[in-house]
Amino acid sequence: MIRRARPQDRAALVALMEQSNGYEAPAAKAMIAAFIPRWTFTEADEVWLDEEAGAVMGFHQLIPHDGPVWELDLFFTANAAQGKGVGRRLFEQMAQRARALGASAVVISSNPQAAEFYRRMGAVDVGVSPPVGEITWERPKLRLTL
């Protein structure tokens, strides 16, 4: 079941980020460790999670970007849930939600390991996001036209 995340879900979402096999490299782990303490959200924010039998299987966060474009800021799927349709279900819900918010497109600065997933979901490469802050590597930049 996909539902809007609540602040009391933060611990489970943080655990998903910390355990993600997409962030095992030392620089990536350090980036997540620096990000987590300052990450907060309210029930009004666009943070959605997929929950099965009380366990969080994945989540995403949409943020306003530029006019009718939104940004997929966070997208995580539990390691054990990968390859089982959870990511696809979350991505499709994210696109549906972005449309409901009036978005014409969603931009994604992707973890390089996840870029192929976004391409399979219909996003196309539009450039590269340069290193910024604690993110010390370039990231594929993609765009999903809605």
The domain in which residue 10 lies consists of: 2-145
What mean pLDDT is predicted for residues 40-62? 96
Total of domains in the chain: 1
Confidence class for position 136, pLDDT limits 50, 70, 90: confident
Can you give the CATH number for the domain in which 107 is found? 3.40.630.30
Buried b (16+ CB within 10 A) or exposed e, 72-87: bbbbbbbeebbeeebb
What is residue 28's predicted lDDT score, i.e. its pLDDT?
Answer: 86
What is residue 8's predicted lDDT score, i.e. its pLDDT?
Answer: 97
Which parts of 47-114 fold into alpha helices (H)?
86-100
What size, in residues, is the chain?
Answer: 146
What is residue 133's predicted lDDT score, i.e. its pLDDT?
Answer: 83
Interval 84-109: pLDDT, tens: 999 999 999 999 999 999 999 999 99
pTM of the model: 0.94
